[in-house]
C-alpha cells in the first residue's frame, strides 16, 4: 500500500485547508514498486496525476479521516505500506453547510487534531509487515526524523528538507536521506522523483532480504 498527495479538509462548500503536495513522489513509488512485480494499492488524495500500470489499483480519498479509514482497513491485507501522503494535521471542528460570509476584520477557525495514520498503523503492524514513513523537516532534520520513526514504529523513514533547493513539494526532483530502524543512514544526491523512487524501492528490497 502506498499513500500519496495531500488531504483536503473542508471549512464550508467552497473553502478548505490543504497543502502544496502534488503526489508525484507517492505515484513514482507506486509505479516503481509495480515495475518490480508488486501489486500496489495506491490511496490518493486529490491530485492531477494518473497512473496506468496494471498492477496499481488507485483508491481516491479527500479528507484525512477518509484516508485513515481506508488505510486501517487495507493495511492488514498488505505486506507493508509506504506512507508518502502529506496528511493534514488538523481539520475544522465544524464544517458549514453554507458558504460562510465575511464578518468583521478577523476570523477565528477552531481546529481539531486528525488521527495520525502512520502511528496507528505502527500499532497494528505485524512482525511480517514493513512500514515506511516520510518526514519533511525545516530544522533539526535528522533528530526529528529519528524521533518520528521511533514514535510511529516505522522500519524506515524518508527524510527531505525544505532547506534543499529542488526538494520537497512542487518539484520534479527530490533529495532524500533514508534512516533505517537499525541505525543505518543513506544520503542521496538530488535526483528526479522517479530515480528517488527507485532508490527507495531498492532499499525496501534490501531490507526485506535481511534477517530479522
Q: Specify the pLDDT at position 86.
A: 95
Is 19 assigned a catalytic role? yes
Active-site pick, 19, 106, 140, 153: 19
Q: Specify the pLDDT at position 209.
A: 80
What distance in Å separates the CA atoms of residue 151 and residue 118, rounded to the nearest whole number? 10
- The whole-number mean pLDDT for each consecutive block of 10 residues of the chain, a chain of 212 residues, reads 98 96 96 96 97 97 98 97 97 96 90 98 96 89 94 96 68 91 92 95 87 50
**Which three-class secondary structure state does DSSP give residue 16?**
strand
DSSP symbol at 108:
-
Beta-carbon-side half-sphere exposure of residue 182 (alpha carbons within 13 Å) = 5
Beta bridge partners of 91: 112
Domains, the chain, in order of start with CATH, read: 2-94+110-209 (3.40.50.10300)
Q: Specify the pLDDT at position 170.
A: 66
DSSP symbol at 163:
T
What distance in Å separates the CA atoms of residue 195 and residue 180, rounded to the nearest whole number? 19
Q: Specify the pLDDT at position 167.
A: 66
Q: Specify the pLDDT at position 212.
A: 46
Amino acid at each position: 500500500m502506498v499513500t500519496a498527495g495531500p488531504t483536503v479538509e473542508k471549512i464550508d462548500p467552497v473553502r478548505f485547508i490543504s497543502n502544496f503536495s502534488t503526489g508525484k513522489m507517492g505515484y513514482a513509488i507506486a509505479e516503481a514498486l509495480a515495475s518490480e512485480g508488486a501489486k500496489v494499492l495506491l490511496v490518493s488524495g486529490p491530485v492531477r496525476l494518473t497512473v496506468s500500470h496494471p498492477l496499481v489499483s488507485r483508491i481516491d480519498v479527500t479528507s484525512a479521516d477518509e484516508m485513515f479509514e481506508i488505510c486501517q482497513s487495507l493495511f492488514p491485507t498488505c505486506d507493508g505500506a509506504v506512507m508518502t501522503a502529506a496528511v493534514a494535521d488538523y481539520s475544522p471542528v465544524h464544517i458549514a453547510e453554507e458558504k460562510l460570509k465575511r464578518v468583521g476584520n478577523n476570523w477565528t477557525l477552531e481546529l481539531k487534531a486528525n488521527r495520525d495514520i502512520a502511528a496507528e498503523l505502527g500499532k497494528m503492524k505485524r512482525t511480517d509487515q514493513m512500514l515506511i514513513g516520510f518526514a519533511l523537516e525545516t530544522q533539526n532534520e535528522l533528530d526529528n526524523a529519528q524521533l518520528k520513526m521511533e514514535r510511529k514504529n516505522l522500519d524506515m523513514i524518508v527524510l527531505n528538507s525544505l532547506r534543499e533547493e529542488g526538494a520537497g513539494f512542487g518539484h520534479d526532483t527530490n533529495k532524500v536521506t533514508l534512516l533505517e530502524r537499525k541505525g543505518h543512514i543513506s544520503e542521496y544526491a538530488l535526483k528526479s522523483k522517479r530515480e528517488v523512487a527507485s532508490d527507495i524501492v531498492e532499499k525496501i528490497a534490501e531490507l526485506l532480504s535481511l534477517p530479522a
